[in-house]
């Protein structure tokens, strides 16, 4: 199992080594992360005061309301 957590806006590589998360701060406890692989947006996560997550083909991704993105494969 590989895990990674990042705490800042910008582009971060995810646990599968292929996908990236493009994280943008939109406001206080308000972030958006576009999950991109091979040039295509696979999913978008957006926080608004609460954590959000998804299962993207076996990679579990969580974006916290504080802007921390975690990915586990």
How does pLDDT run along the chain (73 residues), one tens digit per residue? 345 565 668 898 888 888 899 999 999 889 999 999 999 999 999 999 999 999 987 889 999 999 999 988 7
At which residue do the structure tokens 């959000």 appear? 52
CA dihedral sign, ordered 55, 44, 5, 62: negative
Distance CA 61, CA 42 (A): 12
pTM of the complete model beyond 0.85: no
Q: Do residues 30 and 49 make contact, with C-beta atoms less than 8 angstroms apart?
A: yes
Bridge partners, 46 (sequence order):
32
User: CB under 8 Å to 34, separation ≥6 — which residues?
Assistant: 21, 22, 41, 43, 44
The pLDDT score that the predictor gives to residue 50 is 95
The pLDDT score that the predictor gives to residue 1 is 39
């Amino acid at each position: 199992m590989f895990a990674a957590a990042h705490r800042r806006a910008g582009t971060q590589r995810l646990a599968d080594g292929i996908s990236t998360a493009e994280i943008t701060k939109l406001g206080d406890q308000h972030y958006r992360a576009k999950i991109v692989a091979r040039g295509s947006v696979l999913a978008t996560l957006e926080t608004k005061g609460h954590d959000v997550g998804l299962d993207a083909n076996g990679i579990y991704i969580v974006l916290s309301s504080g802007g921390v993105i975690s990915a586990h494969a």
